[in-house]
């Protein structure tokens, strides 16, 4: 499905999730139909990923040493409360919070990657990582935070370092949700991690208080097709976007933007690649040049109906090398904005594009916990950054509501993560 014949604008694009309540209803109904089908046997294979946060997560997490102010008025705060004029903490004590989104009634939902566990364990690119059911989803509503999903898959190193687990969550009507769960190892590792790890590398749907089901297995798709033709068959589902035609999301390990239709008749959704992001050649530490992988991290629907995809970049994570790609299905991705650094999420609001940089100076240069920012993105070169809020500890996800951005912080911190409300100028 192409939005336009290669044009920069699209006047005939389909209506997706946010443009109308009818779209939201259709999506919720489709997910409900999918969840009403029996669950098939999951594929017992794991695809590793090009660790989105391998370097950042390898630092000694100083989260326990970070102190946060008490939570203040947040999303849909209780009547009579007043939102502060400056940045304020609306949630704290989270386990490596990643992407987040608003659901019905203005509640804010945050995916927490977790802290891994006691095993089984496998040896990854940076050392041993162990499986545990410590991933979760937190809801923030009326000034209170509550974990509404727990015991989700998580992989991490010692002390919760390099956590991989729940990456994004979207909640729809009637308590239905869709969850993106990352991975992080070689293609054979999922089968080594036990039955509870079979949902790593998948999109999982459910309804609060009811059993969940695997709706799409991105890891299996990568194993079978390997769209970027890399030597390793890596997969790491990250950002999600809900559309009437099915979920669209990034596979940071596979370097792809993929779509999955809704599940029907007991079969998992068919996954297909909408875009593949190729390697580029960059200078390498110590001299010479070498390939750098794209590592797409999240996706947002633009005002023109196209998909916009953020880029972390792979090693060596050079400053100024990250782009925002514009994707029209059926056409090769184009660079909408350049000159950014290690971008983990993006969102449109009032015709303006905002993005989160997890490490303003580049992950390779981070000394301890990386410090990043929320920036406004302009079309073309963004070397001269338009910073909305800087000096944020390892920020990751962003969602906007009522003139304020909500940003997850300390995204590689076991028990030290949070959400900060930032009024927009």
Secondary structure string (H, E, C) spanning 347-402: EEECCEEEEEECCCCCHHHCCCCCEEEEEEECCEECCCCEEEEEEEECCCCEEEEC
- Cα(233)–Cα(249) distance, integer angstroms: 18
Comparing CA positions, the residue from 157, 52, 44, 172 lying closest to residue 107 is 172
- Contact of 43 with 334, CB cutoff 8 Å: no
CA nearest 154: which of 230, 223, 94?
A: 94
Structure confidence at residue 41 (pLDDT):
28
- pLDDT of 80: 52
pLDDT value of residue 84: 74
Q: How far apart are CA 203 and CA 214, in angstroms?
A: 6
pLDDT at 70: 40
Which residues of the chain fall short of a pLDDT of 50?
Answer: 1-71, 79
21-423 carries CATH number 3.10.180.10? no
pTM of the model: 0.85
Contact indicator for 352, 376 with CB cutoff of 8 Å: yes
pLDDT at 366: 87
Domain boundaries, the chain: 21-423
Q: State the pLDDT at residue 162.
A: 87
Asked whether the beta carbons of 300 and 307 are under 8 A apart, the reply is yes
């Amino acid at each position: 499905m192409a939005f336009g014949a290669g044009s920069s604008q699209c006047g005939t694009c389909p209506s997706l999730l946010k443009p109308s309540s009818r779209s939201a209803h259709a999506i919720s109904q489709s997910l409900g139909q999918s969840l009403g089908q029996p669950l098939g046997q999951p594929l017992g294979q794991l695809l590793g990923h090009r660790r989105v946060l391998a370097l950042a997560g390898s630092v000694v997490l100083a989260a326990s040493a970070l102190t946060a102010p008490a939570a203040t008025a947040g999303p849909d705060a209780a009547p009579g409360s007043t939102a502060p004029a400056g940045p304020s903490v609306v949630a704290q004590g989270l386990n490596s919070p990643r992407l987040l989104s608003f659901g019905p009634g203005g509640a804010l939902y945050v995916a927490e990657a977790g802290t891994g566990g006691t095993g089984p364990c496998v040896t990854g690119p940076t050392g041993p990582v162990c499986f545990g059911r410590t991933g979760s989803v937190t809801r923030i509503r009326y000034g209170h935070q509550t974990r509404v999903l727990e015991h989700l898959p998580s992989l991490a190193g010692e002390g919760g370092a390099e956590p991989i687990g729940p990456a994004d969550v979207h909640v729809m009507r009637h308590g239905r949700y869709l969850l993106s769960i990352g991975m992080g190892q070689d293609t054979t590792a999922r089968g080594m991690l036990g039955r509870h790890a079979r949902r790593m590398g998948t999109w999982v749907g459910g309804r609060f208080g009811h059993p969940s089901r695997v709706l799409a297995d991105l890891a299996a798709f990568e194993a079978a097709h390997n769209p970027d033709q890399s030597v390793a068959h890596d997969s790491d589902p990250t950002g999600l976007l809900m559309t009437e035609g099915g979920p669209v999301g990034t596979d940071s390990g596979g370097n792809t933007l993929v779509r999955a239709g809704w599940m029907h008749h007991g079969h998992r959704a068919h996954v297909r690649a909408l875009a593949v992001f190729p390697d580029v050649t960059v200078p390498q530490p110590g001299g010479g040049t070498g390939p750098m992988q794209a590592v797409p991290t999240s996706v947002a629907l633009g005002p023109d109906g196209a998909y916009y995809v953020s880029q972390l970049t792979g090693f060596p994570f050079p400053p100024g090398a990250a782009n925002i790609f514009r994707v029209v299905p059926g056409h090769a991705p184009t660079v909408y904005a350049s000159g950014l650094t290690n971008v983990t999420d993006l969102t449109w609001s009032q015709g303006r594009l905002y993005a989160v940089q997890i490490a303003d100076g580049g992950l390779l240069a981070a000394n301890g916990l990386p410090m990043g920012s929320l920036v406004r993105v302009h079309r073309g070169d963004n070397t001269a950054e338009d910073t909305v809020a800087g000096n944020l500890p390892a920020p990751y996800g962003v969602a906007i509501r009522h003139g304020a951005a909500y940003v997850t912080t300390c995204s590689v911190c076991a028990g030290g993560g949070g959400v900060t409300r930032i009024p927009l100028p």
